[in-house]
Chain A
């Protein structure tokens, strides 16, 4: 992953007019997707995420704002007309897109479906066939080249959809609820495939979904959409570091209350920056305190721990200043549940009130 932005939208706005009614589907969306990352946009239906992804390749023309993909300002390229001009079409052919309902042509075999984008690019017959078979191999369907889509399962159809999206050697893959029509197990295998492609080909993936699990499974960064706006966005660890982040709470939910009066409940957030050291057991041994874990939502990503943990320490807060200081020294974010005053000048972060 690099810091080069590959998809950028600025002030993206889309207003639908029907009669004299106006519906604002997108309301000034600024999106920054960096090269090589998997970026998830999550939100409920009607939040505008579908409109957003369709604006990225200008299937939907934004009312105002700009879209830049791989250094090309698509909104400028497209001009004012409603029809897609050759320049926009050429740009689109290098942006792959997969759909919730696969959108495969039932009249064509699997191989011919994958060849369609290559036909549009005017690739010769032989090269088309070679490329299609290569892609089928990549998505694990080498034996299905001559099958028709109707003969495939949902997961297989989406694999074909992904292979087709990759035919134009895109730098960017847009995924419009690609797993929403699939069962949980198939969803996992498709997400795994997207992850693999992201790693192997350095493919940047922008996906929209309404399932938190999808974001949790493969996303490096995420954005939360509500009412046509992005209310939170950032890498998973940035989100974790944001106090009161709704996404972080959803991604790494922790619950649990103090078991007795004179206990201190602490939320420890692992941003993924701290080395993987057995912090809790070190804490326990060094300060001879009994730590009990009330709840935890942890993942290990690339050898680094990401997530949150709610622990309970014996004694009041005043008795636990030292252990808490130790945790902070380890580079962890520590929030004392139920307290409002910051203890150290730099620790400005404090948790929200825990429901009694």
Chain B
């Protein structure tokens, strides 16, 4: 296969991959945040302490996390058909991708939210804040850098899942790699798809890191831009001895 033959295949593959990853990320963020917040709120000592809900959500999340993705994808084919009408193609792949990634992200969200200092929740309560305030004005904003880092990991996992989904007729770069690279023994093609996937992952990671750094900067003591060559100017002393 020469470059001219490869181009349209790769072009479609990239678009399909981005489509699958993009939409399943959207659903994963929504689902993962809801479940993650629920796990924290319903836990012992939480705002909406409810052992039953907590246990149920926890078990569902654990099951979702334990199933190998390829098994999960096959297992929920009836559900996928029910939702999309088909089990083949990028749109259909969004369903198992989201179902597979939601529990993964939910646990990461839970961990991030638990890292928020309990004193802040208490402060919000002392001001008369309710659950809504605590979730949207304290927990989520305070955990944002950590949530973004978790999301970066999740998106990268979804990308690798999406390549796997290619084996089951989802389309995208994974499917192209299998059809052309593996089944036709076209090593060059295989190499190109792998490099493309690496590129996508790298770009996602870079963007994620950048956002995290931006968000973390407001919390950092040195808000001034880092100077590599010049020594930073002495800041005026922050202490208010006066």
Which residues in A have some Cβ–Cβ distance to B below 8 Å? 57, 59, 82-84, 86, 89-95, 97, 99, 101, 103-108, 116-117, 119-121, 140, 148, 150-153, 155-156, 159, 164, 167-168, 174, 185-186, 189
Contact = CB atoms under 8 A, between A and B. Distances in A.
B126 A84 contact: no
A97 B123 contact: yes
Contact of B122 (A91, A103, A121, A153): A103
A90 B128 CA distance: 6
A151 B221 contact: yes
A156 B240 CA distance: 7
Contacts of A106: 142, 218-219
Contacts of A83: 47-48, 131
Given A153-B240, A156-B240, A84 B120 contact: no
Given A105-B141, A106-B142, A153-B238, A148 B128 contact: no
A107 B239 contact: no
Interface of B: 47-49, 117, 119-120, 122-131, 133, 137-138, 141-142, 144, 215, 218-221, 223, 238-241
A84 B122 CA distance: 12
Contacts of A140: 240
Contacts, number: 98
Q: What 7 A-B pairs are tightest by C-beta distance, nearest first?
A: A93-B128, A103-B123, A117-B127, A97-B126, A89-B128, A92-B128, A103-B119
A105 B142 contact: yes
B124 A107 contact: no
19 contacts: A92-B125, A92-B126, A92-B128, A93-B127, A99-B122, A103-B122, A105-B120, A106-B218, A106-B219, A107-B141, A107-B142, A107-B215, A117-B127, A117-B128, A119-B137, A148-B219, A150-B219, A159-B240, A174-B126
A148 B218 contact: yes
Nearest to B127: A117
A57 B126 contact: yes
Please indicate which of the listed interface residues A84, A103, A116, A164 has the most CB atoms of chain B within 10 Å of its own CB.
A103
The winner among A94, A121, A148 for most chain B CB atoms within 10 A is A148
Nearest to A119: B137
Contacts of A59: 122, 125-126
Contacts of A189: 240
Contact of A121 (B119, B128, B240): B128
Given A83-B47, A103-B122, 4 more contacts: A84-B130, A103-B119, A121-B128, A156-B239
